[in-house]
Chain A
Amino acid sequence: MAHYDLREYLEKLDKAKEFRRHAGAVDTKFEAGAIIQRLAEQGGPAIQFTQVSGGPDGATLVGGTMNRGSRQTWAKVAHTLEMDPLTNYHALLEEVVKRMDSTVKPMQVRNGPCKENVLRGADINLEKMLAPWIHGDDGGRCMSSWGFVVVQEPGSNYLVWDIVPHLVHGPKELAAAIHSDSALGKVFARYQATGTPMPFAIVLGGSPVAALAAVFNRRRSGSSSADVAGGLQRNPMQLVKCEESELLVPATAEMVIEGVVSPTRMASIGSFPGSFGYVTDRTATAPIWEVTVITHRNKPILPFATWGVPITEIHLARSLDCDIQLKQEFIKRGTPATGVYTPPWLAGSAVAIGTKVPFTAFSQSIAGIVRATEATKNIPYVLVFDDDIDVTNPISMFHALVTKCRPGRDTWQIQNTCGAHDAPYLDAESRALGKGAALIFDCTWPLDWDRSIAVPPRVSFDQCYPKDLQEKILAAWSTELGFPKESERPAASV
């Protein structure tokens, strides 16, 4: 069964000890953000702050709904997908790829909890609403940092979902940057071309898979984000029509903000971090989003995310998106890749691929696929490994890199690739132009080396002992051999 809404999901997290409710007063100016950012950096539960100021009545704030879990990085993503939180990443990815291939069309319903309250006109004052000021350097309070935007392609009924943070810009105005290379940007450009305002809806809360689907927003074989969300939760999304537009939004959303984006009006918004965990543009200007209607549930629970250094929601969601797309490409092309990981802790600066090597310089083919794939096209570092390396293990991966990749022979630099608009390694001009660069680290053994003499075998427990001996030792480890269990390890003192 799918999560009906955010509340049911939080209950599930609570049972799994990945959720806390904090009843004490918390300042939405910086304090809430600082707590969630610290949790993202070291891993921890989601936290709901129930004593926070800002409307509507009874509104509360929840952070860390899908960032790094207490013990397992991917635990909350697994919960979102209703999988075992201890699922190994490769299995999780396999399952998600499967679900991406079986999308489920949404159902339109007449009504839903998101319509419990409808605010219009004088009842709307964004400056009085619950919206945290997340970081010390931000341009202001952030109404939506983990909500997603719904817009419609002009002249079709195709709905695009995308995630972009919105800062409060006035009592009835939000401001959010729209980048031309994003799904949202491509739609907005078409409205701008005809000088037409773009109707939008911002969705906060609802089934948590919707936010994932919004990150996986690229149009795939005609499926919309809602179809993808339905596939991810193996159940149709229930959508309800907006008040002022034909846009459809999840019926169990906590809050829906409706309005139009002006094709011409721009505001200076100050800074907000990009997805790499760095602020790159501190004087950004952004289109103004004019708000006309807000609908919300009673006592809405508003989710927020911090977008700081890893591992926050956006890092996990983007990593998963990259890995899904690459895996799909590899399957389609018959590439003998055995592992793919865009480490969320590197925030999209590198992607690691384990593979069998069918011919010399095969890593160039892999890197070609990476740069030809929408989600990964502007990742600057491509690391290619033999299939015996677990690419989800940072030490194994970087050990293999520094010991197997010979600088010069096994490194290729590429000028003028796609670059991300928020990439910290680029200067402002290159970022504006989307002009990046890439470096491939080929960490596979050369094929022309004599396997019996020249190729050094890796010396590890799982690679240089007979399988039956390994199993015997593992079975006896904390019993007959007397080693303490991992769960008994004393916490590191700080």
Chain B
Amino acid sequence: MAYPYHDLREFMEACDKAGEMVTIDREVDWNLEAGAIARRITEIGAPMAFMPKVRGCNEGFSILASPISKGWRGDFSRVAIALGMDPDTSFQKLMDEFISRMKSPIRPLQVANGPCKENILKGADINLFKFPAPYLHEGDGGRYIDTFGVTACKDPDSAWVNWGVYRHMIHRKTIMGGIVNPFQHIGMIYYQKYEAHNKPMPFSIFFGGCPSGAMVGSMNIPAGVSEAEIAGGLRRAPLHLVKCETNDLLVPATAEIVIEGVVRPYERWDEGPFGEATGYRASPRMPRPVFRVECVTHRNNPIMPISCPGVELDECEILFGVFSLTAGMERELRTSGLPVRSVIAPPGLKFALLLVSVEKGHQGIADQVVSVIRSSKMGVFFQYVMVTDEPVDVTNLPETLHAALCKTHPIHGVQIMALAPGHPLIPFSDLHDKMHSRGASLTLDATTPKDWLVKDVAPKRVSFKESYSQEIQNKVNAKWAEYGVVTG
């Protein structure tokens, strides 16, 4: 398959070839069934599901469930495919590739037309309920048409166009609602640049196109940087963008569906609740901004990608948590000159824990690590930090937790900040703390005290890699098949 992907369909073909997609021929109900399937894919790691027949939708409209969630061959196999790499690529290699590609943004090209204009609906022709907008989890406030679309909005004072992945629920045939957090870029732009001046904010939401668009939209990209350029870097080729019908925003020409409209100032309708990527339905139904739809364009037989967030590795955790936040924190820690071996927000723990592995023998290193994390804007996401100096594979959670918990003194090795900056989605925060972004944090310092090393009394891990000479290890590894052992 040629890379970069021209559109979502080419990505689907590549996944299909790698055994990472199934097609469900029978009709699937938008009411909980599509969501339950997407959820299970995410929880157990399974191929994504193409659902060409969705009950109650326009003929030919389909769903692509869980495109980037926990994969079949490995946790990140579809991330690898999305980057045009071997599905079995290791996490560390993927991470390195992400970081290197994102360092070289490529500006998009504007084109005159594209398949996303094959159908253009305006005014009374628009009925969002006829699009694949599943009711994803029992308890959600409504049908969510947008869970893996990219919302574009523009800073009126500069050339910055922000792309982000946010949730949108259908209120009425042409009206949606969404959560607009003031600490996110869309919130900064809407509240400060439009609402403050009593102006409506134009928006466009696109679904599909090269998956790099939704990937960068899910990531932590600095303000002022246009995600379209980073997406170009990620796919190592410019995106082709086309102008919207009712505003000047640009969207990928090969998008499956594009929803255009405005968010009026001070208009709020009750929206939510929704099962979120923290693994909980955390924020209650509340008055939130309203997205009024003026135009919808779509390809023939459009495919709607959906994410069904919740526990385990969903799209948000993989892209925002495991890759973006981890890369960001690793950069901060290395820039600070600390002897860091590896950093990971362990998959499945919803970027509430950051695990940092450091070299042995540096007094006070855990506190330095935590100070760097807390001094960073992204640090607010990690309520728990664990610092270990055992040479374990940090992508192996049980191994790492064993190495670390056994070595952390429950009093001297634990630092508790009973009040710390938080974000509104922290599940353990009460409603007051959520409202005021109050949090708390805890550090587990599993590093070896330097005086134990100096006196040579430090506990020594007894493992295959650490307790046997390289010669013995090589011998055993070479003879492994001969022992007749099948493991796993």
Contacts and interface: CB of A to CB of B under 8 A. Distances in A.
Interface in B2-32: 19, 22-26, 32
A347 B26 contact: no
Contacts of B88: 492-493
B46 A483 contact: yes
* Residues of A contacting B: mostly: loop
B419 interface: yes
A75 to B, nearest CB: 12
B47 interface: yes
Q: For the complex of A and B, list the 5 residue pairs with the smallest distance between their C-beta atoms, beginning with the closest.
A: A408-B418, A459-B310, A456-B280, A459-B275, A407-B442
Interface string A333-367: 00000000001011101100000000000000000
Interface string A284-307: 000000000000000000000011
B312 interface: yes
Interface in B159-206: none
A194 interface: no
Interface in A248-281: 271, 273, 276-280
A423 B25 CA distance: 57
A350 B406 CA distance: 9
Interface in B61-90: 72-74, 88
Contacts of A280: 459
A77 B317 CA distance: 36
A20 B384 CA distance: 43
Given A34-B472, A453-B284, A459-B279, A44 B467 contact: no
A446 B432 CA distance: 14
A114 B464 CA distance: 34
B406 A347 contact: yes
B220 interface: no
A309 B402 contact: yes
Contacts of A410: 428
A98 interface: no
A219 interface: no
Contacts of A343: 398
A84 to B, nearest CB: 20
Contact of B352 (A402, A426, A481): A402
B476 A35 contact: yes
A469 B32 contact: yes
15 contacts: A31-B475, A41-B464, A271-B460, A282-B457, A309-B399, A349-B405, A399-B349, A403-B279, A403-B350, A408-B418, A438-B410, A464-B138, A483-B47, A484-B72, A486-B44
Interface string A66-90: 0000110000000000000000000
Interface stretch (B33-41, B208-216, B243-251, B359-367): B33-41
Contacts of B457: 282, 428
Given A20-B484, A31-B472, A308-B463, A460 B401 contact: no
Nearest to A400: B279
A415 B462 contact: no
A277 B468 contact: no
A310 B488 contact: no
Given A278-B406, A403-B428, A409 B464 contact: no
Interface string B442-470: 10000001001000110111111001110
Nearest to A395: B348
Given A404-B427, A460-B279, A470-B36, A409 B406 contact: no
Contact of B467 (A42, A136, A403): A136
B414 interface: yes
A308 B22 contact: no
Contacts of A405: 428
Q: Which of A39, A399, A405, A458 has the most CB of B within 10 A?
A: A399
Interface size class on chain A is 35 or more
A461 B44 CA distance: 10
A222 interface: no
B36 A276 contact: no
Given A277-B463, A349-B402, A399-B350, 6 more contacts: A24-B479, A310-B402, A380-B405, A407-B442, A439-B414, A469-B32
B463 A37 contact: yes
Contacts of A459: 39, 137, 275-276, 279-281, 309-311
Given A309-B402, A481-B37, A403 B278 contact: yes
Interface string A466-494: 10011001000100111110100111110
A403 B280 contact: yes
Contact of A394 (B276, B281, B401): B401
B338 interface: no
Interface of A: 17, 20, 22, 24, 30-31, 33-35, 37-39, 41-45, 47, 70-71, 135-137, 271, 273, 276-280, 282, 306-310, 343, 345-347, 349-350, 380-381, 394-396, 398-399, 401-411, 413-415, 423-428, 436-439, 446, 449, 453-454, 456-461, 464-466, 469-470, 473, 477, 480-484, 486, 489-493
Contact of B406 (A33, A423, A470, A477): A423
B143 to A, nearest CB: 15
A307 B463 CA distance: 9
Contacts of B32: 465-466, 469
Contact of B40 (A276, A349, A461): A461
B374 interface: no
B487 interface: yes
Q: Which of A381, A394, A459 has the most CB of B within 10 A?
A: A459
Given A34-B464, A278-B460, A308-B467, A407 B476 contact: no
B49 interface: yes
B40 to A, nearest CB: 5
Contacts of A490: 19, 73
B473 to A, nearest CB: 7
B326 interface: no
A277 B461 contact: yes
Given A470-B36, A490-B73, A403 B485 contact: no
B426 to A, nearest CB: 8
Given A405-B428, A480-B26, A70 B43 contact: no
Contacts of B406: 276-278, 346-347, 349, 423-425
B468 A34 contact: yes
Given A42-B488, A135-B467, A483-B47, A24 B138 contact: no
A160 B92 CA distance: 51
Given A395-B312, A403-B278, A413 B411 contact: yes
Nearest to B471: A30
A155 to B, nearest CB: 39
A68 to B, nearest CB: 9
